[in-house]
Structures are given as structure tokens and as C-alpha cells.
Structure 1
Amino acid sequence: MDGTDVMTVLVRACLRDGTGGSPTAVVLDDGRLSDAERRRLPVEHGTSHAVFLRIPDPAAGRAVIGMRFFTAEGELPACGHGTVAALAFLAGRAGTEGSYRATFRTGSRVFAGWAERHGAHMATAFDPGPVDLRPAGAVERDSVLGALGIAPEAAGTEVRVAGVGRERLLVPVAGRAVLEALEPDFERLRDACDRLGLLGAYVYSPPSPTGELAARMFAPSIGVPEDIANANSTACLAAHLAGRGIMGIAVDMGDAVGSPATVTATAHPGPSGPRIRVGGIAATA
């Protein structure tokens, strides 16, 4: 089957002040596409990621929507900005004027997402699931920080391995200027992440008293040297910062690749750790 035969809509996820964002291909998938064709679709549409939706028969009532994520390298277990894009597309398709709610199924879990129209844009949020956090081991720290060009002492003691579906490294730096100046060795970083089973490295500046900060996500192992917006890593950071009493963050991303984006996340007390809601503003491209 030719990928051009399926309905594909481009959505800009995690806009900042109504512009920029991460272009994401949202595809209505009836199951006829092969995985090789799914890998090709992001390339054909000039996006880093594509999200594939299986929408059940409307007669089934409020049914669960199947969702899969692909880059040119292959399938991902989760994609935060892909979920933001899917929510914006589905709310627009439903003609929602107020609040919209959907229930999604990925390979590993079922979860809820929400959208609300604001003019031409959709404000979205979803439940990324529980976040696993642990201190990074010495090999993880040394391998990834070296590839990023960050001295171990510059990252301090707060480097964490965090996971929602797949682990990645959370790396603090001293400020936005340090973040902007980073020039990772992508070949070395890919090798380190492949050996360690990491998705990539999410490097972030200190949060302001009101939770504003900046971040960059480097993920060459999935074919994305630098991600414009990474909502799941932002959810991981929100869970980490909740331990310091910071319960809401707004993270600027994408400036280094010419497409400003902002991802927001909140933390709420839960029985076994903070419950996170993450999302952003999105619009059809």
C-alpha cells in the first residue's frame, strides 16, 4: 500500500505564543500499512515523528482509540508530542467547541487525554503514566555527559535516569547560556545510548521561582538528533522537580533548531508518587 493513500494531517504540537511547535504527521490507520510504510511516512511529510490512529466504529460508543508512534528508525513505545498532536486532531475532527476527552491504547497501557479549543488552537493534556526515577550510575553519567560535552562536575549530583515507556537521562546545567552552547558529539551519544538502552538525553536549565525553564532533547538513537519538543521527558522532569516542591513547569524547547516550542506539566500528589499531567498548545499546520 502506498503511504499517500492514507489520510494524513500535519499538526504543530506544543506551540509557543501561537507559533513554532513540532510538526507531527497524524495518520488515520486502517491496519493496511506495513511497519516499513509507517517508518517512511515521517520522512515523506518532513516530520521527525508520526502518530498512527485506529479509530473504532462510532456505534461502539466511547471506545478506546489505538495509537502507535514511528520515526524513520522504527516504532516507539510512547511519544508525548505525538499524543498532543493526536488530541488536537481528534478534537478538531469531532467539532469540539468545549472540552474533548479521549481514551487511548498503546502497546503497553490505556490512558486518558483532554483538549479544549481556544480559537484556532487546542490546549491539550494527557496522563503520561507513572514516572520511574533513579540516580544515574557512573557509567551512564560518564558516557552520556562526555558525549554531550558536559564536565561531570558541571552537571552536579542531580543527574537522573527517568522512564515513561523508555529510560532517558535528565541532565541539569547551570543556565540557559550553557544549554544553548551545547554541541553534542551525536555519533558518540548514539553509541552510548544504544549501549545503555537509553532513549536519549534531556538537558535542562534551572527553573525560575514560577517554574519556567529551557531544555534540549538529544535522541540520535531514534533518528532524531535534536527533538523540537519532548513532552514525555518534560513529564519525567516534572516528577523529579515535584520532589523539590515545584509542582508546575513550562519548558521552552526548539530554539536551537529554529522552531520555538513550549511544553507544560503539572504534578499532583498521588498514593505512590506524583501524578503528572503534561501537554501543550497545538494547531493544524
Structure 2
Amino acid sequence: MKLPIYQVDAFSAQRFSGNPAAVCPLPEWLDDSVLQSIAAENNLSETAFFVAEGEGYRLRWFTPAAEVDLCGHATLAAGAVVTRVLEPDRDSVTFMSRGGPLTVSSEDDLLVMDFPARPGATVDAPSALLTGLGVVPRQVLVADYYLAVFDTIDEVMALAPDFQRLEALDRIGVIVSAPGTDVDFVSRFFAPGVGVPEDPVTGSAHCTLTPYWSARLGKKKLRARQVSQRGGELFCEDRGERVTIAGHAVFYMQGEIFL
């Protein structure tokens, strides 16, 4: 059995930056154990699988260690595969997922995702977060992930987390963020509990970052940068219960999997 596979660098206009995701269109679902094995073999932060359903597709995401409920960069990559390869006459696609419908639209040279907003609630910092980060943030919020807010980019860049301690948290991911200089805000994202110590660029984190920084800065449209080693840029808009998250995507590889 042979299956097509694509590797896409999401949230970047250049190869070798942004967040690489593998995308595997399937004629029908395989056993979960096979999907997980493919993701582990790919050894990227996420592999996206989708199957045609109605006028769109059913989309699932796997890290090398586990299936997850939402992944922004792999959704962007899947949207690129559909609109630029499989159905090039199509300018938008809707994926059904555990988190509901997710739409990816092609607008000029950007791909724009429409996701549910996940605003955070302020909480006292858990001890595992403080010991895991090794510093005390200005503010801590929680939604799907923890969000630790700092005052400067330098503080965010200097973080060297203890990933074993972060694994003890009751959320799979930790976002750290600060105001930007040439962008509105910067961030990093850690998810060691699902096999991703640091994610290069995390679209789903911006479901929480966008409403936070929109309220704090008093603006709806925001430009963001994830300051991982590979880095990436995102263009976000707060639309109340929804957020749009846009970015570039470039193809790195196309091939076949043999099963």
C-alpha cells in the first residue's frame, strides 16, 4: 500500500524556517496505531491526516507521541495541500475536527484560518510552571494551554525550561509571551508532554494569544512572531468568538509512504 505525503513549512515564506508539518491525505481511515506510527516515523511536531467528508474533509493531528485536539500549523499545511495541489481551483476548504469546523482560505499569498477563540482566565501560577520556567512571569492565564506573560522579549528568549517539570502540569502546553518591538507580540511554546519540547510555530496558541493581546493593546489586527530557533510570523485578528490566523506556507517535499 502506498500513500501520498507532503511536508510543508508553515508560517514562513522561505524553506527551512517556520514550522514543518507532514500532511497525509487518506482514501479512508487507517487504524489509530498506524497513524501514530506514521507520525512517530516522521518525527515532526505534527502530522496531519485527512479523509474526504461531505464537501470538505475530516482532519486529525498526531505528534510523535499522541493525537491532539487542535493544531494550527498542520491545519495551515493541510489547507495548502488541498488548495494548491489536490483542488487548485478551490480557494477555501473546511475541515471537520474534534474542535468543530475549521476553515482555511487562500487570500493572495497568505492562507487564512478561522478558529474558535480560546481566551484565558487569570490564575495563580502553579508551582510546576514556576519551577519549570525557572522565573516568575508578570501574569499567568489558563485556557487550553497555560499562558505566561513577561515584560520583555529578552526574558522570553532567555528561557531554558525544565521540561520534566512542565510535564507535571494539567495542560499539555505552555505559551510564553511578551510585547514585541517590530511586531505586536512575540511568543514561544513548550509541549513536552506530547513529545514536543519546543514547537517552532504554534497556530493554536494564537487562539489564546490573540484575544489577550487584542484587549491589552486595544487593537483587533495583530502581527505576531514566534521566536523559536526556526521562527515564524503570523497575522491575527480578534473577531470575538472567533480568531483568524494567517501565514505563508511553502512546500518542502512530496513523496510516498509504503505500508
Match of 2:145 in 1: 168
Q: How does 1:152-163 map to 2 (within 5 A)?
A: 155-156=137-138, 158-162=139-143
The 1:22/1:254 distance shift into structure 2, 3 A limit, reads farther
Are 1:69 and 2:40 matched, yes or no? no
Shift of 1:7: 1.1
1:138-178 CA distance string (max 9 Å, x none): 3x433212211112xxx22x32112xxxx101111121211
The 1:275/1:106 distance shift into structure 2, 3 A limit, reads closer
Match of 1:281 in 2: 248
Match of 1:253 in 2: 226
Shift of 1:19: 5.3
Q: How does 1:6-85 map to 2 (within 5 A)?
A: 6-15=3-12, 20-56=17-53, 63-85=55-77
Provide the rounded CA distance (Å) in 2 between the counterparts of 1:108 and 1:251. Answer: 23
Contact 2:12 2:247 in 1 (8 A): yes
SS of structure 2 residue aligned to 1:227 = coil
SS of structure 1 residue aligned to 2:193 = helix
Contact 1:16 1:262 in 2 (8 A): no
**Comparing both structures, which one devotes a greater share of its residues to strand?**
2
SS of structure 1 residue aligned to 2:151 = coil
The number of equivalent residue pairs is 250
The 1:32/1:133 distance shift into structure 2, 3 A limit, reads closer
Match of 2:91 in 1: 100
Are 1:91 and 2:73 matched, yes or no? no
Shift of 1:16: 5.3
Provide the rounded CA distance (Å) in 2 between the counterparts of 1:207 and 1:188. Answer: 28
Shift of 1:205: 1.6
SS of structure 2 residue aligned to 1:12 = strand
Q: Would you identify which runs of 4 or more consecutive aligned residues in structure 1 move more than 3 Å?
A: 16-19
Shift of 1:254: 4.9
Q: Which amino acid counterpart does residue 161 of structure 1 have in structure 2? A: V
Match of 1:148 in 2: 133
Contact 1:215 1:252 in 2 (8 A): yes
The 1:181/1:266 distance shift into structure 2, 3 A limit, reads same
Provide the rounded CA distance (Å) in 2 between the counterparts of 1:54 and 1:130. Answer: 25
Contact 2:77 2:249 in 1 (8 A): yes
The 1:181/1:16 distance shift into structure 2, 3 A limit, reads farther
Contact 2:73 2:201 in 1 (8 A): yes
Contact 2:13 2:250 in 1 (8 A): no
Contact 1:39 1:72 in 2 (8 A): yes
Are 1:225 and 2:176 matched, yes or no? no
Q: Which amino acid counterpart does residue 166 of structure 2 have in structure 1? A: L
Provide the rounded CA distance (Å) in 2 between the counterparts of 1:177 and 1:81. Answer: 25
For structure 2, list consecutive stretches of 5 or more residues without a partner in the other structure: 253-259
TM, length-normalised to structure 2: 0.88
Contact 1:172 1:204 in 2 (8 A): yes
Are 1:179 and 2:156 matched, yes or no? yes
Match of 2:120 in 1: 133
Match of 1:110 among 83, 89, 101: 101
TM, length-normalised to structure 1: 0.81
RMSD in angstroms over aligned alpha carbons?
Answer: 2.1
Provide the rounded CA distance (Å) in 2 between the counterparts of 1:117 and 1:55. Answer: 25
**Comparing both structures, which one devotes a greater share of its residues to helix?**
1
For structure 1, list consecutive stretches of 5 or more residues without a partner in the other structure: none
Contact 1:239 1:274 in 2 (8 A): no
The 1:31/1:177 distance shift into structure 2, 3 A limit, reads same
Match of 2:237 in 1: 266
Provide the rounded CA distance (Å) in 2 between the counterparts of 1:148 and 1:13. Answer: 27
